Amino acid sequence: MKFFLQEKLMQEYDTQHDYDGISGERLATRLGELSKIGLTDGKGSNRPGYSKGEKQAKELVSSWMRDAGLKVHEDGAGNVFGRLAGKNDELPAIICGSHVDSVPNGGHFDGPLGVLSALEVVEAWKQTGYQPEKPYEVVIFSDEEGARFNGGFNGSEGLLGIGDLSEKVKLKDVAGKSFSEVLDEVGLSVEGYSNASRNLDDIEMFVEVHIEQGKRLEKENLPCGIVTGIAGPCWLEFTFGGDAGHAGNTPMNDRKDALVAASDFIMEVNKLPSQVSDSAVATVGKLNVEPNGVNVIPGKVTLYVDIRDIHKETRDDLVDRVLKLSGVISEKHDVTINHEEKMRVTPIPIEEEVQQKLEHAFQEKGIRPFKLPSGAGHDAMIVGAKLPVAMIFTQSKDGISHNPDEWSDLDDCVQTVHGLKHFLERMQG
């Protein structure tokens, strides 16, 4: 199958962005080469975590790392690190990167752009003869997307030594293969995974470039933006209990319709985030109706509310408001409503000092600083639980992601690399 991502990226690229050792063509070529690994009939990417495709992509990037003069090693979780020695190599390292696995039939920028941006900084430093004061490492995290086991971040959790390994070994993929078997297929092991954790005193911070997966930067006509924090999700399952009955023989004033109550609840939930903060969101994206018959009054509805914010206090405040609302709706419609908390992940705010350094770096590169939250989870969310993190978003066309139509213009990608490079140089002082 012919698929020319590199050529498409280069078609409208403005070469004035090629300076300070950064090359748009090199970045486009590498994105193009990675796109060929796991290419689907729909011209998307299919590289599940801990698959041979992900391993092949890691090996290709590792070869580029070595060509750039980096010392490369892989840990027991399959994470790949390419290290550039600093002038003061005993200092804690700044690590920068992302992942190269994908969702089934996903796009070609989610993950790879972050890895290749981190590597492009090394290429630029090599060309200009710059050596950072602190050691710098390009990282490829394993299995960020979680497409294999319906739960991602196995690589970044391995680095930090968090995550319940006793639960991971119980996992099976869609083919029935266990976590242990999947690791074995790519030359890893559960024992190696359990020993992958690193001394975090050796790391100063983690920096991640990622596509926005939203439309804010496009609406602002900006190539990239500064992430203020990574939202931590809380998932609540609600069960509405009413009385199922015949749709024709039950008067409207004698009904306990679980779906009507759930509908009222959904409408009111939609109004709550703005009462808490500008970055809070709440979504009802999954709903089951029983008995689910055309001529039957719904007797039971199960739905899920995904609640997120970048600050724990406001996120938890929103959770409390949703729970309080369920009580009001229960009384109003005379139905029972029970809830169960399925997940609560701590949000990761980005330190103000880090945001300010990113602002200055952007301004000095002629990029208007624009701040925005990340509603999606990233490896930076996992690492940020233990270490300082920074994130830069690159503009996504139409906000499309996890789809073959996912796209970021090369002009925007390269300007992102300039912002990243300047920020990393600012962090040396």
pLDDT digits (tens, 9 = 90+) for 174-184: 899 999 999 99
d(CA 202, CA 322): 42
pLDDT at 29: 97
pLDDT at 398: 96
pLDDT digits (tens, 9 = 90+) for 329-388: 999 999 999 999 998 989 999 999 999 999 999 999 999 999 999 988 899 999 999 999
DSSP assignment of 307-358, as one string?
Answer: EEESSHHHHHHHHHHHHHHHHHHHHHHT-EEEEEEEEE---EEPPHHHHHHH
Mean pLDDT of 160-168: 91
| Residue found by looking up tokens 């003061």 in the block | 88
Task: Indicate whether 299 pLDDT > 80.
Answer: yes
d(CA 217, CA 230): 17
Mean pLDDT of 213-218: 97
Mean pLDDT of 188-195: 96
Domains of the chain: 5-231+347-426 (3.40.630.10), 232-344 (3.30.70.360)
CB neighbour list of residue 213: distance below 8 Å, 6 or more residues apart: 110, 376, 396, 399, 401, 402
46 DSSP assignment? -
pLDDT digits (tens, 9 = 90+) for 30-88: 999 999 999 999 999 999 999 999 999 999 999 999 999 999 999 999 999 999 999 99
pLDDT at 150: 77
| Residue found by looking up tokens 């970044």 in the block | 156
Q: Where does residue 243 rank: exposed (0-12), middle (13-18), buried (19+ CB within 10 A)?
A: middle
d(CA 233, CA 317): 13
pLDDT at 73: 98
Q: At what angle do helices 410-426 and 24-35 cross, to 10 degrees?
A: 110
pLDDT at 306: 96
Mean pLDDT of 319-326: 98
Question: How is the chain split among helix, strand and coil, in percent rounded to 5?
Answer: 40, 25, 40
pLDDT band at 2 (very low <50, low <70, confident <90, very high): low
pLDDT at 91: 98
Mean pLDDT of 382-397: 97
Average pLDDT, the chain: 96
pLDDT at 149: 85
Please tell me the least confidently modeled range out of 157-161, 163-167, 415-419: 163-167
pLDDT top residue among 112 and 376: 112
Q: Is 221 left (phi over 0), alpha (psi -120 to 50) or beta?
A: left
C-alpha distances out from residue 324 to 96, 181, 357, Å: 42, 45, 41
